[in-house]
Structures are given as structure tokens and as C-alpha cells.
């Protein structure tokens, strides 16, 4: 499990981002005082730092520079100041990525994951499981009852989404939206094809009766005997 350190002065964003990150299996540390951000980070020794440039007492760029003197921790600058100069300065001072507000939460998660991966920390990624179905997103491998098979990128994303919301209906438009965020601009028909292919792939390792179609809505991942008739 990775620890993310959140340096963000807006309370609402801090809270909600913490919830979001925790839901995606990060441990979150978020200080509410910004007098001594750098030593706070060093003490917490997180795996990744999210830093807002607009802080009440200290300039984010200064934090950036001070932090780099003492640590090589992956650092993502998140800011609403979207000028080139800030971006350039951040990168020069050693930030690993630069994300401007308002960001889409999915994009932010993807950026964090890719920075972690780049910094060679992403190898032990989060696994998803439900009733014996195990998905390892980093390798796109799904296993069940001792057998495993590799999924295509889209199949992996769909299954991950279904596992995240196991036993709840996942709407078609949400699946589509999720795929679009990774530049897979599938239309309605292609989504159906992808889901059917996923169903076939899962059947090849003995997973059957799990993936249910909810006509006009979306899909449901649930063990068959648990479905109320």
C-alpha cells in the first residue's frame, strides 16, 4: 500500500481527495498546518507527494526546492495557476509531474500511478478480487481457481471497474467514460463487443455466471446464486 502525502490548503479538496485516494488503496497523510511542510514530508516518508503551489504561509515552489535538497520522493505539483512559468519552474525544481486544476479525478489517479511506476515503485500494484477472481492490473492477468489468463487493455479496465463496484450495477455510460479516460473512445456497440469478449475470456478460466447484463442500464458482477430472482 502506498502512502500519499497531500499538501493542500483547501479543506474540502483535502477531505475529498483523501477519500478518493483511500478508496483507490492509498494511505493518505494530509497536514492542516503549513509552517514546516518539508520536515512534515520527510517525517512521514510517503511514496508520493501532491503539492499545491498556492499555500497560505509559504510558496509551493520554495517547498519544492527545499524538498529536493533532502529527498527524491516522487512529487506531483497540483495547482490552479496554469501559466507556463510555474510549470517550467516546478519541473526545474524537480517536480515529477504538473497537474492543473480543475482536474478530473481519474486523470489525477492515472498521473499518480504513472509517476509511481516511473519511479519504479509501481511494481507492487493494487490487486482487485471478488469471490476468488483475482485481477492484477499491472500485468492484466486475471486468475480464478488456479487458472489464469491475460486480458486485453479494455477487458482489464472493464473488469477492474466491475470489481471495484462488485455487486452493484455499473452503468454502460460509466464504463464508456472510464475507457474514454484512457483514450479508448469506444461507442456503445464496441462496449458491448468488449464486454462479451471479456465474458468469453473469463469463461475460458472457468469464471461463468458472474457477469450479468442489466438491459438498458449496464452490467453487474455478482456470484450467480446470490442474484435474487
Least distance to another protein from the beta carbon of 216, Å?
A: 14
Least distance to another protein from the beta carbon of 215, Å?
A: 17
Contacts of 124 (CB under 8 A, 6+ apart): none
Least distance to another protein from the beta carbon of 187, Å?
A: 4
Contact between 101 and another protein (CB under 8 A)? yes
| Site mask for another protein (CB under 8 A), range 61-100, x = bound | -------------------xxxxx---------------x
Nearer to another protein, 42 or 186 (CB): 186
Least distance to another protein from the beta carbon of 211, Å?
A: 20
Nearer to another protein, 20 or 119 (CB): 20
Contact between 32 and another protein (CB under 8 A)? no
Determine the size of the site formed for another protein (CB under 8 A).
32
Residue 11 CB coordination number (10 Å): 10
Nearer to another protein, 49 or 207 (CB): 49
Contact between 16 and another protein (CB under 8 A)? yes
221 grid coordinates = 458482477
Nearer to another protein, 34 or 42 (CB): 34
Least distance to another protein from the beta carbon of 24, Å?
A: 10
Q: Please, are residues 87 and 43 in contact by the beta-carbon 8 Å criterion?
A: no
Contact between 17 and another protein (CB under 8 A)? yes
How far CA 73 is from CA of 9, 122, 176, 190, in Å, comes to 21, 13, 34, 41
In the region spanning residues 110 to 169, those forming contacts with another protein, defined by CB under 8 A, are: none
Burial class (CB in 10 A: 0-12, 13-18, 19+), 78: buried
Q: Binding another protein by CB under 8 A: which of 34, 36, 44, 106?
A: 106
Contact between 43 and another protein (CB under 8 A)? no
Q: Which residues bind another protein (CB under 8 A)?
A: 10, 12-13, 16-17, 19-20, 23, 80-84, 100-107, 171, 173-174, 176-177, 180-181, 183, 185, 187-188
Amino acid at each position: 500500500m502506498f502512502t500519499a502525502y497531500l499538501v493542500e490548503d483547501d479543506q474540502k479538496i483535502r477531505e475529498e481527495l483523501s477519500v478518493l485516494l483511500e478508496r483507490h488503496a492509498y494511505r493518505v497523510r494530509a497536514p492542516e498546518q503549513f509552517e514546516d511542510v518539508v520536515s512534515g514530508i520527510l517525517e512521514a516518508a510517503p511514496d508520493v507527494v501532491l503539492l499545491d503551489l498556492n499555500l497560505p504561509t509559504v510558496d509551493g515552489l520554495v517547498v519544492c526546492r527545499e524538498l529536493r535538497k533532502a529527498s527524491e520522493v516522487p512529487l506531483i505539483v497540483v495547482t490552479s495557476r496554469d501559466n507556463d512559468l510555474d510549470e517550467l519552474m516546478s519541473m526545474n525544481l524537480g517536480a515529477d509531474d504538473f497537474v492543473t486544476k480543475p482536474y478530473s479525478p481519474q486523470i489525477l489517479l492515472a498521473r499518480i500511478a504513472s509517476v509511481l511506476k516511473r519511479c519504479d515503485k509501481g511494481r507492487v500494484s493494487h490487486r482487485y478480487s471478488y469471490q476468488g477472481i483475482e485481477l492484477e492490473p499491472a500485468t492484466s492477468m486475471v486468475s480464478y481457481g488456479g487458472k489464469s489468463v491475460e486480458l486485453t487493455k479494455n477487458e482489464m479496465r472493464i473488469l477492474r471497474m466491475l470489481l471495484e463496484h462488485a455487486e452493484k450495477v455499473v452503468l454502460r455510460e460509466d464504463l464508456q467514460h472510464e475507457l474514454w479516460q484512457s483514450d479508448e473512445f469506444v461507442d456503445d456497440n464496441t462496449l458491448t463487443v468488449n464486454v462479451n469478449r471479456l465474458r468469453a475470456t473469463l469463461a475460458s478460466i472457468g469464471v461463468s455466471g458472474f457477469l450479468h447484463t442489466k438491459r438498458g442500464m449496464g452490467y453487474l458482477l455478482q456470484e450467480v446464486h446470490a442474484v435474487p430472482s
